[in-house]
Amino acid sequence: MPDFSALTVVPRHIAIIMDGNNRWAKGRMLRGVSGHKAGVKSLRSTVEHCAKAGVEVLTLYAFSSENWQRPEDEVSALMELFSWALTKEVYKLVEHNLRLRVIGDKSGFSSAIQQSIVHAESLTADCTGMLIVVAANYGGHWDITQAAKTLAEQVKAGYLQPGDITPELLGQHVTLGDLPAPDLCIRTAGEQRLSNFLLWQLAYSELHFSPCLWPDFDAEALYVALQDYASRERRFGGRVPGAQ
């Protein structure tokens, strides 16, 4: 087992696109939802080891705004799994002093799930450990659009002039605007795209693409990703002194 506590360079904020659940299930001749259930084990492991490593924020892409287009039985099963996690797994977060925040267009969920989100967030509100952000019914285009609408309303009301709008101001109105931007984004299952995830927030994040399907993403795979991150030289669009 890797020693996460021994890492000397640790991202403050890690974002993960948990991909490959369906392929994992298909390879075992199982229904797609079996892959999502198997992915819960990887999720627990990842949360545990990120907290041990000293990560401050872990953002997880759980359900995109495009996922509603999947087969109805799969969407229904995903909603049941989400509801179960909000009502049952949340107590484990409290036990381990972990906070929860859900981002995305929550109006798309049933009233029962919306109430469970509010309850889960309030239940963990006083926890002081790592913050776990779950992106559900989330899309980067939606995120930037809702921020632009907020600023447009402020201009219309006379609180702002169009010239007052800067990237910094817009960045305060996208989700997670109060948090450090992700230092590292991990995507599993070998795909190398962002799939409309945190498009604004990931502008200067380091990207790591793991070949592991999400249910197979274990402590070793996470450690490899963190070692890869530690080897990077972050420039944020600038030039390293002395570089040609």
Instruction: Tell me whether residue 137 is annotated as binding.
Output: no
Q: Which of 19, 137, 143, 183 is catalytic?
A: 19
φ and ψ of 207, to 5 deg = -115, 135
Question: What is the pLDDT, as a whole number, of residue 4?
Answer: 86
Question: What is the pLDDT, as a whole number, of residue 239?
Answer: 59
Question: What is the pLDDT, as a whole number, of residue 243?
Answer: 52
Give the count of alpha carbons within 13 A of 143, CB side only.
Answer: 24
Mean pLDDT by 10 residues, the chain (244 residues): 88 97 92 88 96 96 91 88 92 97 96 97 98 97 98 98 97 98 98 97 97 97 96 74 53
Instruction: Tell me whether residue 232 is annotated as binding.
Output: no
Question: What is the pLDDT, as a whole number, of residue 241?
Answer: 54
Domain ranges of the chain: 18-141+184-230, 142-179
Instruction: Tell me whether residue 23 is annotated as binding.
Output: yes
Q: Which of 67, 105, 218, 228 is catalytic?
A: 67
The percent of the chain in helix, strand and coil, each rounded to the nearest 5, is 50, 15, 40
Question: What is the pLDDT, as a whole number, of residue 6?
Answer: 81
Instruction: Tell me whether residue 24 is annotated as binding.
Output: yes
Instruction: Tell me whether residue 206 is annotated as binding.
Output: yes
Instruction: Tell me whether residue 237 is annotated as binding.
Output: no
Instruction: Tell me whether residue 36 is annotated as binding.
Output: yes
Report the b/e string of 21-34 with b at 16+ CB within 10 A. Answer: bbbbbeeeeeebbb
Instruction: Tell me whether residue 28 is annotated as binding.
Output: no
Q: Give residue for tokens 């797994």.
A: 89
Q: What distance in Å separates the CA atoms of residue 21 and residue 185, rounded to the nearest whole number?
A: 18
Catalytic annotation on 19? yes
Paired strand residues for 187: 17, 209
Domain 18-141+184-230 part of CATH 3.40.50.300: no
Question: What is the pLDDT, as a whole number, of residue 237?
Answer: 67
Catalytic annotation on 183? no
